[in-house]
């Protein structure tokens, strides 16, 4: 009996309840109620796939009952049963109670069974669709979570390349300074330890405010001024409204480092680097005076930056030569 569909039949006439239950109890699990109030109480206690109600009942009509059921138990299929061919009652049942079907008295048993079976099939389809929708939603959540975890894993791998890259380049600078100016090499090493401490402090961040990156840039440029003195000129012009925007840690530093690495810097040919805001981008611009490197650049720093940005935004990096200048633009990211 527990496997039979559960139907609640509501009618104020006891004879109708007895007759309905007698002819259909072998096919369905029938529960009866003599009023709308009793029906609502039963619905609180157990779940029914289908509710059939007479229209004309004292205190609460069938339409009024279905209006309540529609809001409280929206999945339940509703059928109105009336002995009157009143168009208004039928329209109200459809519009207000959102009934599945209406049946007029006296009902035909075979027709009634067809209507009930179709209604129960509709209920089963609704529940199946709801289950599929819930499962789809859960799958989408799981997929989004996995994608986020994958992105973060990729980002961590990329980020792990930054410190060795920065450390390796700085060690090369110290190596080049030692034979030419041991005192400068000592000074550089002292300042480098302070700068590298900031690198480690930002190591766990995915993005940081532009203002924080600029603070780091000041320390980084101080190192470069030790090395190049007046041969390196830096101009910074950033709109205050952009300082709270976000960028990947060391993104700006990398562009400045590349400008220094790939261009001739001397008293005869000083390098000027301009850092400015340009719409939703930060721009690093330098006079282009390319120098031949002793060894071919791996390009790991720029590849790393492009890959990190690819995981953070759809906005592209813009890098290239233009009118004797080399210009690199990286997007600003909303927090």
- In three-state form (DSSP H/G/I as H, E/B as E, the rest C), the secondary structure along the chain is CCCCCEEEEECCCHHHHHHHHHHHCCCCEEEEECCHHHHHHHHHHCCCCEEEEECCCCCCCHHHHHHHHHHHCCCCEEEEEECCCCHHHHHHHHHCCCCCEEEECCCCHHHHHHHHHHHHHHHHHHHHHHHHHHHHHHHHHHHHHHHHHHHHHHHHHHHHCHHHHHHHHHHHHHHHHHHHCHHHHHHHHHHHHHHHHHHHHCCCCCCEEHHHHHHHHHHHHHHHHHHHHHHEEEEEECCHHHCCCEECCCHHHHHHHHHHHHECCCCCCCEEEEEEEECCEEEEEEECCECCCCCCCCCHHHHHHHHHHHHHCCCCCEEEEECCEEEEEEECECC
Long-range CB contact pairs, 99-105, < 8 A, 24+: 99/66, 103/52, 103/79, 105/81
- pLDDT interval class at 301 (50, 70, 90): confident
Residues 184 and 297 in one domain: yes
* Non-local CB neighbours of 254 within 8 Å, separated by 6+ positions: 301, 302, 304, 305
Residue 17 falls within a domain, yes or no? yes
Structural domains in the chain (count): 2
pLDDT tens profile 64-121: 888 888 888 888 888 877 765 555 656 665 666 567 677 777 777 888 888 888 888 8
Q: How far is CA 322 from CA 34, 261, 319, 325, 326, in A?
A: 87, 19, 10, 5, 6
pLDDT attached to residue 317: 92
Nearest-5° Cα angle at 259, 331 to 226: 120
pLDDT attached to residue 233: 93
Residue 29 falls within a domain, yes or no? yes
**End-of-domain residue from the set 132, 148, 178:** 132
Determine if the pTM surpasses 0.75.
Answer: no
My answer on whether omega of the bond before 106 falls inside 30° of 0, hence cis, is yes
- Asked if 172 and 223 count as a contact pair (C-beta separation under 8 A), the reply is no
Percent of the chain with pLDDT over 90: 26
CATH of the domain at 78: 3.40.50.2300
pLDDT attached to residue 242: 94
CATH of the domain at 231: 3.30.565.10
Residue 152 falls within a domain, yes or no? no
Residue 156 falls within a domain, yes or no? no
Choose the weakest-confidence range: 48-57, 84-93, 128-137, 193-202. 84-93
Phi, psi of 204 (to 5 degrees): -90, 0
Is the per-residue pLDDT at 223 higher than 90?
no
Residues 177 and 316 in one domain: yes
Chain-wide mean pLDDT for the chain?
A: 81
Domain range for residue 284?
A: 161-331
- Asked if 80 and 90 count as a contact pair (C-beta separation under 8 A), the reply is yes
Distance CA 84, CA 106 (A): 10
Residue 140 falls within a domain, yes or no? no
Residues 183 and 237 in one domain: yes
Residues 20 and 79 in one domain: yes
Residue 139 falls within a domain, yes or no? no
């Amino acid at each position: 009996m527990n496997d039979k569909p559960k139907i609640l039949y509501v009618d104020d006439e006891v004879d109708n309840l007895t007759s309905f239950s007698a002819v259909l109890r072998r096919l369905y699990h029938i529960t009866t109620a003599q009023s709308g109030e009793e029906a609502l109480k039963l619905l609180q206690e157990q779940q029914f796939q289908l509710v059939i109600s007479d229209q004309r009942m004292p205190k609460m009509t069938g339409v009024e009952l279905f209006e309540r059921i529609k809001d409280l138990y929206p999945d339940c299929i509703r059928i109105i049963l009336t002995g009157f061919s009143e168009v208004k009652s039928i329209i109200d049942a459809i519009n207000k109670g959102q009934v599945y079907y209406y049946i007029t008295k006296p009902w035909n048993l075979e027709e009634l069974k067809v209507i009930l079976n179709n209604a129960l099939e509709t209920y089963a389809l609704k529940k199946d669709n709801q289950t599929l929708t819930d499962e789809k939603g859960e799958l989408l959540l799981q997929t989004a979570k996995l994608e986020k975890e994958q992105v973060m894993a990729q980002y961590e791998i990329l980020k792990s390349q930054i410190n060795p890259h920065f450390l390796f380049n700085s060690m090369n600078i110290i190596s080049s300074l030692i034979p030419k100016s041991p005192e400068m090499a000592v000074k550089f090493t002292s300042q480098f330890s302070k700068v590298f401490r900031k690198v480690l402090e930002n190591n766990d961040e995915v993005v940081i405010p532009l203002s924080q990156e600029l603070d780091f840039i000041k320390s980084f440029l101080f190192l470069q001024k030790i090395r190049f003195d007046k041969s390196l000129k830096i101009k910074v012009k950033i709109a205050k409204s952009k300082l709270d925007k976000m960028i990947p840690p060391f993104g700006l530093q990398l562009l400045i480092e590349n400008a220094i690495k790939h261009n001739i810097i001397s008293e005869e040919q000083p390098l000027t680097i301009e850092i400015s805001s340009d719409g939703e981008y930060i721009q690093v611009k330098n006079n282009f005076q390319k120098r031949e490197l002793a060894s071919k650049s791996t390009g790991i720093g720029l590849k790393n930056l492009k890959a990190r940005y690819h995981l953070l935004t759809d906005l592209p990096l813009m890098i290239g030569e233009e009118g004797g200048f080399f210009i690199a633009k990286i997007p600003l990211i909303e927090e």
